[in-house]
A and B are shown apart, each in its own frame.
Chain A
Amino acid sequence: MNATTYQHWQLEIDAEGIAWASFDKAGESTNSLSSAVMNELGQMLDRLDANPPRGLVFRSGKAAGFIAGADIQEFTRLDTPEKALELVTRGWNLFNRLAAVRYPTLALVRGHCLGGGLELALACRYLLAVDEPGTKMGLPEVMLGIFPGWGGMLRLPQRVGPQAALDMMLTGKSIDAQRAKRMGLADECVPPRVMESAAKILLLSNKPRRPLPFLQRLLNGPFKALVASAARKQVAKRARPEHYPAPYAIIDIWARHQGNALAAPALIDGIVRSSTARNLVRVFFMQERLKGFGKETSFQARRVHVVGAGVMGGDIAAWCALRGLTVTLQDQGMERIAPALERAYAAWGKRIRNKLQLRDVMDRLIPDPEGQGAAQADVVIEAIYENLEAKHTLLSKLEAVMKPDAVLATNTSSLKLEDLRTVLAKPARLVGIHFFNPVAKMPLVEVVSAAGGDPEMARRAAAFVKQIDRLPLPVRSAPGFLVNAVLGPYMLAAMRAVDEGIAPETVDEAMLAFGMPMGPIELVDMVGLDVAMAAGKELAGADVEPPRCLLERFNAGHLGKKTGRGFYDHASGSGGKGGGKGAGRARPGLRPEPFRPVWPSVCSSPCSNVYSNSSMRVLLRMPIWPTPG
């Protein structure tokens, strides 16, 4: 065997003359395509040009993951149009070169293969997917406000047809190994035990790629314009071009420029250096920072006990079970717990195709009417109704049976930790772990500490949040914590505007035009008018007069989406806004200024400069763009 070691790659030629290129990015736990990595890939191709192998296999040298994508750090340094153009050019040319080599090539994809990683795999003749839960393929560039400019827009539609390709590129969602095989993205899907052997056989098979079905070839050829127009209409329902140009650019580059972004240099600059992309990249790094808060202790939960099987408690429990924890779910009687189990069955049944995996998740979610699981739990979360007395009784009962070092948390959004913890023998241990509804779609979780709280318990709470794949945001105990303290005044101002005689549609339209993913009035309907009422009192104080429009509807029992009617009519099934089309136009005089910077007083972490349009989005994760997963 003949091996050459690069900084990030290892190239071995085996006895059969097959070259194995193993990617193991130096100094990082995850493989990403930095410029140094791309340069070395070029050098490897030079070397193989001089002495062509029988075939070339790309694989990961890491224990987990193929290639996560481009190096996002490099995006932050694209301060001139030339640099952006250069970044796209380098990848486009290199992968075109790879696609044109005379010997067969194969990407052995095990683990995540995203963005530039999938573009590399697409440039190979064969794509072999390893059938493991971790294997995911996707082009998520759109979620960073950019596009897959290294050949993804060219090759993915050629491989799977334009509709499936646009779906992947415009939503950023990734697919698993079996699905990749079914849709023609992967040539084979094999278990890890035969992957090397399958790679060799496939590589030397000389097998031509399966041609696209005739219809798909038409759609990717003469009927491109039709597909593009349909896609643009779909996109328009979710995002406005002025706030979110990337999906429109993807459609245009595919339909008009054969997937080659270099043919439209103006688009490149408009996208790559747009404020949307810059902010989304910033959001990406902020998410990484939030994850960091979960890494400050080695605490790992195995068992979680949740009290309260209502919507929040039930969904928190179901989420924890989905993430591999054993969960006991307590409420007064099996009849109260059963609906939460039913919801979990239904939700995870849609999400998990494999019946055995679904069964395992549900086996981990244990109804516990007598609260017997609390004694063995590593994390106990109280999510009962917002009543101080009831919570006092519960918390002292829980503390009496819990392990001394277990995390005791409350999911309260309106009661103060300082008031709740008075009944505890060790008041310092109580933390807030505040989830948002719906739990499965809201990645942000506030980890609340009160003055004098045990910092280790806050660290453990954050580690637990990270463990269940949510983003822990440490905040101080203050009314509304961070998110609601920001949202509250915003929604209040919107409702005051309605009181002043502006139509709800107009208010919402103004904020949509500003760039919010959902109008504030529609948001009140989603959250529930009763919740808005209670939160308003908590945030503004009981003596502040609630908005008239809120009070009237609240008194009439129109509580929003859950009752079918609030500010909008939800019962009709049209999804909401009742008013005529004219009502939805923004009035020039209406300025989006309902924000008041209240948050610096509540945010205990240095990640406080999160006050921007896109930051609001990551906080709330109202789909900026179709949410992954």
Chain B
Amino acid sequence: MAYQPVYIVDGARTPFLKARNAPGPFSASDLAVQSGRALLMRQSFAPTDLDEVILGCASPSPDEVNIARVVALRMGCGHKVPAWTVMRNCASGMQAIDSAIANLQAGRAQLVLAGGTDALSHAPLLYNKAMVLWFAGMMQARTLGQKIGMFARLRPSALLSPVIGIMKGLTDPMVGLLMGQTAENLAWKFAISRQQMDEFSVRSHHRVVEGRAAGHYGEIVPLVDAKGRVYTEDDGVRLDSSVQGLAKLKPFFDKKYGRVTPGNSSQITDGAAWLILASAAAVEKWKLQPLGMISDSQWAGLDPAQMGLGPVHAATPILQRHGWGLNDIDAWEINEAFAAQVLGCVAAWESDEYCREQLGLAAALGTLPTDRLNVDGGAIALGHPVGASGARIVLHLLHVLRANQSRRGIASICIGGGLGGAMLVETL
């Protein structure tokens, strides 16, 4: 059956706020509410007219497990609009869009708010196993003597070495590698140098700065906190980023000997992004003026140790279905989890061997032109609030296409655990 396109009516996101070693000013639901209510406010329909709200979130806090429902109610969608949370790690936001597409195509919904949010700075510290066992013992202690005995057995080393939730989340549970180590794998496999990675990263920062100046970031809704402080821009972007500066950073994941540093990786960030998706019937009913449409999507799996190549595996089938080469796509957004990983994707498509063995193609697919890839920069400069990024790149891609008056683009994202997701976006 042909893929029935789904309309993107509008979209918005928060500024992405870099985690600075302490919980940031907004929780994941605060981020989603402030951007979502501003988006809904400017629509011709009321929040209660939505058919459902779908929100991707990789790390909702324990008191907001179905964070989509919390957010929907806070935004005034009312009791009767269902809401659910989806989780596909780094592609949770893209998954939310894809789930909305599925329901729109099936006729189960006409108007859906979908997006992603994460406040990684709020990621919890957890008690380690020794402490959990100590608490269990404490619960069983009945007498004062037993309790004092328990305290005598309390080891400060156990108390003071919490499990850092986010490090767990960023470690592959199958192969035991940190995400940055999977990027090291790609750098090794495709012989990508530290210099290349750092150059790519500097370009990302510079492109954001230029994009900002050109007004390409109109998708951002400023945030205001309880103290009246205003947050208008992605605050991880460095105006003064330089290769010399980045060269000073030490490898973080493979200490001493590796190539991947915090400077050529995406930043740990808080943020949210939303899209309003509609069927043709809803567009007519509410007299909407869509920005564009999503006309194909694809998920793919691959070796978790090389998860960064996910976009290659997800985008290639879309190209094949339409008989297109890399050149036929006017603009690409490939989420910059790591510089090595995006460069790895480009290298994989250029590699006869990889395309033959992994994609079943006759030969290399070709070269992805640099001037069509992440033209306004990416997550290395903006940050990667895991659940939100997939929604952000789809939204931003559409804005890029409209700004350049071009036709079609692909947004793609690599996913921890060995997955890739891609969406074909077209202007009308």
Contact = CB atoms under 8 A, between A and B. Distances in A.
Interface string B221-262: 010101111101000000000000000000000000000000
B224 A366 contact: no
B37 A342 contact: no
B8 interface: no
Interface in A370-386: 370, 372-373, 375-376
Contacts, number: 54
B224 A337 contact: yes
Contact of B37 (A345, A359, A366): A366
Given A334-B232, A363-B74, A376-B46, A368 B226 contact: no
A345 B229 contact: no
Contacts of B227: 342, 345
A368 B228 CA distance: 15
A338 B224 contact: yes
A567 to B, nearest CB: 32
A338 B227 CA distance: 8
A25 to B, nearest CB: 33
Nearest to B33: A363
B226 A372 contact: no
For the residues of B in contact with A, the DSSP-based class is loop
Contacts of B37: 363, 366
B228 A341 contact: yes
A363 B75 CA distance: 7
Given A359-B74, A363-B33, A363-B37, A372 B228 contact: no
Contacts of B222: 334, 367, 369
Contact of B76 (A335, A364, A370, A373): A364
Nearest to A336: B230
A366 B228 contact: no
A364 B38 CA distance: 11
Interface string B30-47: 000100011001111010
A360 B228 contact: no
For the residues of A in contact with B, the DSSP-based class is helix
Contact of B41 (A335, A359, A376): A376
Contacts of B76: 326, 363-364
Which of B38, B224, B229 has the most A CB atoms < 10 Å from its CB? B224
B364 to A, nearest CB: 47
B228 A338 contact: yes
Contact of A334 (B33, B41, B44, B230): B230
A337 to B, nearest CB: 7
Given A334-B222, A334-B224, A334-B230, A373 B75 contact: no
Contacts of A369: 222
A339 interface: yes
A563 to B, nearest CB: 22
Contacts of A360: 74
Contacts of A359: 74
Contacts of A171: none
A326 B38 CA distance: 12
Contacts of A326: 76
Nearest to B45: A376
Nearest to A343: B228
Interface string A22-34: 0000000000000
Contacts of B224: 334, 337-338, 341-342, 367
Nearest to A346: B226
18 contacts: A326-B76, A334-B222, A338-B229, A338-B230, A339-B228, A341-B224, A342-B226, A342-B227, A342-B228, A363-B74, A366-B41, A368-B38, A369-B222, A370-B42, A372-B38, A372-B42, A373-B41, A375-B42
Interface of B: 33, 37-38, 41-44, 46, 74-76, 222, 224, 226-230, 232
Given A335-B230, A345-B227, A376-B46, 14 more contacts: A326-B76, A328-B41, A334-B230, A337-B224, A338-B224, A342-B224, A345-B228, A362-B226, A363-B74, A363-B75, A364-B76, A373-B41, A375-B44, A376-B43
Interface of A: 326, 328, 334-335, 337-339, 341-343, 345, 349, 359-360, 362-364, 366-370, 372-373, 375-376
